[in-house]
Amino acid sequence: MSKPKRKRYVVVPGQGDPCPRCCQPTQIREHSEVTEKHRRQPFYFSRWFHCTNPQCKAQMICPERFKVWNPHLNARRRDNLERWLVSHHAQKREQRAVMDSVDRGQLVLWGDAWPDEAPTDTSGSAPWE
């Protein structure tokens, strides 16, 4: 971005939905200006919520109801895109669920609980089977 730095959003008065991750209140934001660039995309969000909790990883919450589809997008392309987004989101959710259980200490990916010596016998079935 070579343009001078300026705020690309404005804060809308009022409060958004509570953060789905941490339940803290959220700020409503919208683009300071919807540009040609936004309109060229398959869709953009007219508004979104910003989590006010600095510790929260969600930060930006984009509810479906604020999604603005490009009216020039043909139906098939939009269908494909929506399908892709659904599977993409499902994947993300799964990743997030894993990271959450790591945070809560329910699942250890790496760290102290990792066995000093990983099983070396790879000939048979997996050790957890």
- Binding residue for Zn ion, selected from 9, 38, 43, 56, defined by CB under 5 A: 56
Residue 59's contacts (CB-CB under 8 Å, 6 or more residues apart) are: 50, 51
Q: How many CB atoms lie within 10 A of CB 114?
A: 10
In whole angstroms, give the CA distance from residue 85 to residue 22.
23
Q: How far is the CB of 18 from Zn ion (least distance, A)?
A: 8
61 in contact with Zn ion (CB under 5 A): no
> CB-wise, 34 or 97, nearer to Zn ion?
97
# residues near Zn ion by CB under 5 A: 8
> CB-wise, 53 or 70, nearer to Zn ion?
53
- Main-chain phi, psi angles of 110, to 5 degrees: -135, 155
In whole angstroms, give the CA distance from residue 7 to residue 27.
15
Q: Which two tokens stand for residue 106?
A: 């329910």
70 in contact with Zn ion (CB under 5 A): no
21 in contact with Zn ion (CB under 5 A): yes
- Main-chain phi, psi angles of 115, to 5 degrees: -60, 140
> CB-wise, 22 or 68, nearer to Zn ion?
22
- Binding residue for Zn ion, selected from 19, 28, 44, 49, defined by CB under 5 A: 19
Q: How far is the CB of 114 from Zn ion (least distance, A)?
A: 30
Residues at the interface with Zn ion (CB under 5 A):
19, 21-22, 24, 51, 53, 56, 58
